[in-house]
Amino acid sequence: MSQAVSYDIEGTVGVITVANPPVNALSLAVRKGLLDAVSAAQDDASEALVIVCSGRTFIAGADITEFGKPPEEPFLPDLLDTIEASKKIIVAAIHGTALGGGLETALSAHYRCALASAQVGLPEVKLGLLPGAGGTQRTPRLAGVQAALDLITSGNPIGAPRALELGLIDKIVDGDLRKEAIAWAHELHEQGAAIRKSSEQPVPAFDAGLFEGYRATLAKRARGQIAPQHIVACVEAATQRSFEDGLKVERELFLECMASTQSAAMRHLFFAERQAAKIDGLPKDTPKRPVESVGIIGGGTMGGGIAMSFANAGIPVTLIEIDDDALARGLSIIDKNYGASVKRGKLAPEQASRCRELITGSTDYASLTGADLIIEAVFEDPALKKATFARLDSACKPGAILATNTSYQDVNEIAAATKRPEDVIGLHFFSPANIMKLLEVVRAEKTADDVLATCMSLAKTIRKVPVMSGVCYGFIGNRMLQPYFREAQLCLIEGATPDQVDNAMEEWGMAMGPIRVADLAGIDVGYKARQALPEDERGDPRASRVPDVLAEMGRLGQKTGAGFYRYDPDTRKHSSDPAVIEIIEREAAAFGIERRDIPDDEIVDRLVYGLVNEGMRIVEEGIAQRPGDIDVVYVYGYGFPVWRGGPMHYADAVGIRRVYERVCEFQDRFGAEAWAPAPLLVQFATEQV
Ligand code: 3HC
Ligand code: NAI
């Protein structure tokens, strides 16, 4: 045995216990321990066996830290063959989350019981992989083809009751799982129950058109990704071939996924997301302030969504607006959003009304006296924000956390408007705030450690992914957008059309092209932001001229039915507009620019390397703690393709030296200042020679 796996005979049942904190991943030691235990148990006095885990969960999957390294025996599929071939009944006893290789281990056992609170799933697709230890072959045999495809292509776990309905588990138990599982194994033995092998079950009948349907849906939903399509091929193989041949297909496609740059990118993000939650120099045991009620100032686009995020986590919210009309408007949008969630089947009606009841409105700051956290989401006007914080200072109780959702303003200056700058922090949500996962937590100069620790941990409570940012114009994400949007606009004026720029970026993997994003966000947003800056800080005039013209024409984007594109009032579908091409050509001529054909790969490189170069500066200045944090921001907040791993990982995958050389080429062609390589980029590129 190994330290990670122990084996004891309790009464007449052999109990194999996995103890590999924190999540009992199937490391080499666990695989060896399981193999030794199952092998030894074949010839001892036990009558049946139980596999159970200690700690917070059943096995949560293969050990992801071992991926990309040379594999060591015993390999998981072989171990699972041994488990299934056991001549004594094996019962898997599940608590916590049986995921990936963990669920595959349970499926190779002959019977499965679980606590009602347990969850099971095959999340490999989220790592650019597919279940590689029989999951694609055993799941359809037990749960049917459609359920298997849903489970494996979504990667989302299901609760024990649903797993019971699907036949993935056999029994839900109460109380002491270990004791119950031992009793059940004994009972099964006494009853002479069969050694029931999942691999020998026939695949239940299914609709033959199912596979093509999934292929088409996934081509859209998981555009550009290899693993989802391979999963369909594996499940299809389960319906057409023997178990052994199906396993061969699974193995071949699993290895292909494992070797892919896509999986490397997604594994990078798995760890980057967890790393981003950690603040260097802030001890894990930093005390946290209790947050049991929240106040939100401003019930507009952001305030309403933020209120829903807290209410959905069971935290009561008081929403403050300037007057009764504005309050009624804000609350009615929240009502509409909850209504839509119910309609789409995302929330049960009673759940939605429970959440909605947690949100109350007021026009009086005195209603905030009890709030533990107050988030300001008023207009993006520095004077208004400062005045609001001065008011909060007197209205809120001592120790309350005062947060701003500003997109660009200096959080140090906002904090200075109070007598308690240590309680002030930035909490930058993304729109729509009840849906988008990213939360930039902006640490100002005087933000207290416990305020920061509280907000990082609170983000998890409201199911957001937190990334800490220092204070600068636009923080991490919006600051990097500046060169990205600049290059998009320059490509337009130099010769591309809005469609070409957007299609090039969407083909490359962005969820939405930059010009369509500008139309969605509103062209007036950037216009107003530029107007608020002194003229010499407004950036390259060639990049802002066309959007300025459109804004002044009242073509503000989707909300006015026209911006860079025209929008169908009913379907919101965009179409290109010759009038915009004329404007672009006219403005190009005014700047003396001779328009040319721009290749798609130049568009992609200019936009993406614009992000990378600025990202390097952000890391160097300490605004982001590490490059991986930037990747998390871009994937969760800006529609960057997860399978490219974020801009910084992508640069690494391309090769920093190559990125640097392309940036130098752009510097020669397009402008010394805008394309000056960041010092860190130069350093990394030099180190790579
Ligand atoms: N391998 C290695 N480390 C893992 C791991 C895994 N499978 N799963 C989690 N960890 C580590 C995390 O990196 C983290 O480490 P840290 O504390 O040093 O940052 C620690 O365990 C705790 O993880 P979380 O912070 O995520 O803890 P939570 O309680 O929030 O979530 C969980 C627990 C739901 C199990 C979540 O960690 C998770 O989803 N893990 C990944 C599960 C997964 O993808 N399994 C499939 C792996 S691929 C596979 O099995 C291939 C097979 O088919 C052959
Ligand atoms: P919005 O214009 O939709 O809403 C602002 C609301 O604040 C309005 O309903 C207004 O009545 C209310 N308000 C104004 N002054 C007030 C006061 N003194 N007291 C109480 N309420 C007051 O604006 P939006 O888009 O919600 O933006 C709010 C903040 O969030 C801004 O700082 C913005 O930069 C930031 N933000 C916006 C994002 C977006 O995509 N819209 C994304 C991330 C941050």
Which alpha helices (DSSP H) does 313-448 contain, by range?
Answer: 324-343, 349-357, 382-395, 411-416
Looking from the CA of residue 274, the nearest atom of ligand 1 is 19
Neighbour-count burial of 36, counting CB atoms closer than 10 A to its CB (0-12 exposed, 13-18 middle, 19+ buried): middle
What is the edge-to-edge ordering of all strands in the sheet holding 119-121? 97-99, 119-121, 158-159
For the four alpha carbons of 193, 195, 199 and 200, in that order, the dihedral sign comes to: negative
Angle of CA points 335, 340, 342, to nearest 5°: 95
Cα of 603 to ligand 1 centre, how many Å?
37
Q: Which ligand is nearest to the CA of 123?
A: 1
Looking at the DSSP bridge assignments, the partners of residue 606 are: none
Residue 343's pLDDT band, with cuts at 50, 70 and 90, is: very high
Neighbour-count burial of 51, counting CB atoms closer than 10 A to its CB (0-12 exposed, 13-18 middle, 19+ buried): buried
Query: How many H-runs (helices) and E-runs (strands) does the chain carry?
Result: 28, 19
Active-site residue flag, 649? no
Q: Is the pLDDT of residue 2 over 70?
A: no
177-209 pLDDT, tens digit per residue, is 999 999 999 999 999 999 999 999 999 999 989
531-578 pLDDT, tens digit per residue, is 988 988 888 999 999 999 999 999 999 999 999 999 999 998 999 999
> What type of residue is 329?
R
- Give me the residue label for tokens 């679980």: 114
Those residues whose C-beta lies under 8 Å from the C-beta of residue 67, and which sit 6 or more positions away, are: 258, 263, 267
State which of 308, 323, 379, 431 you would mutate to test the pocket of ligand 2, scoring each by most atoms of that ligand within 8 A of its C-beta.
379
Query: Which pTM was predicted?
Result: 0.95
Instruction: State phi, psi for 112 to the nearest 5 degrees.
Output: -135, 130
Task: Indicate the average pLDDT of the chain.
Answer: 97
Burial 309-342 (b: 16+ CB within 10 A, else e): bbbbbebbbbbbbeeeebbeebbebbeebbeebb
Across the range 505-512, mean pLDDT stands at 97
For the Cβ of 64 lying below 6 angstroms from any atom of ligand 1, the answer is: yes
Q: Which ligand is nearest to the CA of 461?
A: 1
Neighbour-count burial of 256, counting CB atoms closer than 10 A to its CB (0-12 exposed, 13-18 middle, 19+ buried): middle
**Which pLDDT belongs to residue 453?**
98
- Give me the residue label for tokens 């220092």: 470
As a whole number of angstroms, the distance between CA 354 and CA 240 comes to 47
Looking at the DSSP bridge assignments, the partners of residue 51 are: 16, 92
As a whole number of angstroms, the distance between CA 299 and CA 591 comes to 42
User: What is the H or E stretch that residue 17 is in?
Assistant: strand 13-18
Residue 679's pLDDT band, with cuts at 50, 70 and 90, is: very high
Walk me through the domains of the chain, giving residue ranges and CATH numbers. 5-258 (3.90.226.10), 294-469 (3.40.50.720), 477-622+655-688 (1.10.1040.50)
Q: Among 317, 378, 444, which Cα is nearest to 455's?
A: 444
Q: Is the pLDDT of residue 472 over 90?
A: yes
E-strand spans in 431-485? 438-442, 465-469
E-strand spans in 416-544? 424-429, 438-442, 465-469
State which of 27, 30, 64 you would mutate to test the pocket of ligand 1, scoring each by most atoms of that ligand within 8 A of its C-beta.
64
For the Cβ of 123 lying below 6 angstroms from any atom of ligand 1, the answer is: yes
Across the range 493-522, mean pLDDT stands at 97
As a whole number of angstroms, the distance between CA 503 and CA 600 comes to 9
11 torsion bin: left (phi>0), alpha (psi -120 to 50), beta (else): left
With contact defined as beta carbons under 8 Å apart, do 34 and 7 qualify?
no
With contact defined as beta carbons under 8 Å apart, do 598 and 437 qualify?
no
Pairing of strands 111-115, 90-94: parallel
Cα of 459 to ligand 2 centre, how many Å?
20
For the Cβ of 677 lying below 6 angstroms from any atom of ligand 1, the answer is: no
As a whole number of angstroms, the distance between CA 624 and CA 468 comes to 7
As a whole number of angstroms, the distance between CA 669 and CA 672 comes to 8
Across the range 235-252, mean pLDDT stands at 98
Q: Please state, in angstroms and as integers, the Cα–Cα distance from residue 592 to each residue in 108, 137, 291, 586, following that order.
A: 70, 63, 58, 10
Q: Among 196, 217, 66, which Cα is nearest to 132's?
A: 66
- Give me the residue label for tokens 């999951």: 135
- 370: which DSSP letter? T
Q: Is the pLDDT of residue 31 over 90?
A: yes
Question: What is the four-CA torsion angle of 331, 332, 338, 343, rounded to 10 degrees?
Answer: 180
**Which pLDDT belongs to residue 689?**
67
Q: Is the pLDDT of residue 64 over 70?
A: yes
For the Cβ of 509 lying below 6 angstroms from any atom of ligand 1, the answer is: no
Q: Which ligand is nearest to the CA of 122?
A: 1
Angle of CA points 457, 389, 401, to nearest 5°: 20
For the Cβ of 379 lying below 6 angstroms from any atom of ligand 2, the answer is: yes
Catalytic residue from among 95, 428, 574, 649: 428
- 173: which DSSP letter? E
Cα of 299 to ligand 2 centre, how many Å?
7
406-441 pLDDT, tens digit per residue, is 999 999 999 999 999 999 999 999 999 999 999 999
Burial 358-380 (b: 16+ CB within 10 A, else e): bbebeeebebbeebbbbbbbbeb
* Percent of the chain surpassing pLDDT 70: 100
Instruction: State phi, psi for 432 to the nearest 5 degrees.
Output: -75, 125
**Which pLDDT belongs to residue 665?**
98
287-301 pLDDT, tens digit per residue, is 999 999 999 999 999
Instruction: State phi, psi for 86 to the nearest 5 degrees.
Output: -55, 140
For the four alpha carbons of 592, 597, 602 and 604, in that order, the dihedral sign comes to: positive
Looking from the CA of residue 387, the nearest atom of ligand 2 is 18
Half-sphere exposure of 230 (CA within 13 A, CB side): 24
- Give me the residue label for tokens 């045991």: 285
> What type of residue is 354?
R
First to last CA, the chain: 47
Q: Is the pLDDT of residue 520 over 90?
A: yes
As a whole number of angstroms, the distance between CA 306 and CA 311 comes to 9
Neighbour-count burial of 582, counting CB atoms closer than 10 A to its CB (0-12 exposed, 13-18 middle, 19+ buried): exposed
253-275 pLDDT, tens digit per residue, is 999 999 999 999 999 999 999 99
Residues in the chain: 689
Q: Among 425, 421, 449, which Cα is nearest to 439's?
A: 425
Q: Is the pLDDT of residue 166 over 70?
A: yes
With contact defined as beta carbons under 8 Å apart, do 530 and 544 qualify?
yes
Cα of 378 to ligand 2 centre, how many Å?
4
For the Cβ of 124 lying below 6 angstroms from any atom of ligand 1, the answer is: yes
Across the range 481-510, mean pLDDT stands at 97
Across the range 476-493, mean pLDDT stands at 97
Q: Which ligand is nearest to the CA of 332?
A: 2
As a whole number of angstroms, the distance between CA 137 and CA 237 comes to 8
